[in-house]
Amino acid sequence: MISAAMARLPQPPEAVSRPPRIALVDAARGAALVAMFVYHFAWDLSFFRLITTDIVAHQGWRWFAHGIAGSFLALVGASLVLATRGGFDRDGYLRRLALVAGAAALVTAGTYLFMPDAYVFFGILHHIAVASVLALPFLMLPTLAVAGGAITAFALPALIAHPLLDADLLLWLGLSDRPIRSGDFVPLFPWFGCVLGGIVAARAARALIGEDRLAGLRADGQPARLLATMGRHSLPIYLIHQPLFIALLTAWVWVFPASIHHGPSMGDAQTRPFVEACVRTCISNGQEPDLCREACACTADRLKRDSLWSQALSGQLSATERARVGEIARICTRGE
């Protein structure tokens, strides 16, 4: 199906040059990179215990990270529309796809080496590589059909559930209830909806703004030009920034060890009592201690992932949320 879609996309005449880059898209990608720098640096500060905030468990930071990932993926869809407006450059497409896929493999290898318990097996680069292929047939569909596909992608995790989808090889689909331990997990669903939404947005921009005006947009001013330059080189910047941050913070804690926060982080201070109380209750109900510890840690992780952590701690859960907490506890107890 994908190869057929590639063949059916219009091919540019050899004498026709590639369509010019849209500076506004490059600047938007650069702005998303800056936002990503902010989040990752905060995450690193939390990891090195230089701040007390648990970035992973903090709901505001989680929404910030979701917004960044959604922005990058929407730009993938928009870029596919804009890059093919003069015809489909198969060689250029395959070259970019190979670069992204190779970078994704590098991220997996690097994170597995340094944090094997939470390595990145399907992060943002993996998603971009897969989505760049799956989105090709949608480039030939009417905009209304693409919008319907986006809505379906967003809804699928809530509509589809089956024990077969909990298999390790299918976790990347995002249709499993299993808690995922990964430094960066951007599953196909619902996030593919952002890519399709980017296709819809780019088509709307071309229709409303016009082809000539869109191509004539320029990044005026030094900050905008800097963002556009970053956006044109987003892949190497993405690969370099985290090792650079980690190297700088490693040097900082080596030179200034007193800056490390040795007390429990906000997340630790809340999580440990919760898990200990959960384990005591579980054991009192006749369960094995090891099973109880694993199930209670799983429950805490899943409550944080589903943005139910603060409500569970405060006891301010709605009836729907209480039902969801019970479901999470059952899933974790079964070890799914």
Say whether 162 sits in a helix, a strand or coil. Answer: coil
- The pLDDT value given to residue 123: 95
% the chain with pLDDT above 70: 88
- The pLDDT value given to residue 302: 80
Q: Which residues of the chain have pLDDT under 50?
A: 15-16, 264, 266
* Closest to 18 (Cα-Cα) out of 74, 72, 89: 89
- The pLDDT value given to residue 268: 61
pTM across the whole model: 0.76
- The pLDDT value given to residue 15: 42
275's tokens: 């898990």
Yes or no: say if 146 and 138 are a contact pair by the CB < 8 Å rule: yes
Q: What is the DSSP letter of 174?
A: S
* Chain centre distance of CA 146: 21
What letter represents residue 39's amino acid?
Y
Angle value at C-alpha 125, between 66 and 309, nearest 5 degrees: 30
68's tokens: 């960044």
- The pLDDT value given to residue 85: 80
- The pLDDT value given to residue 88: 83
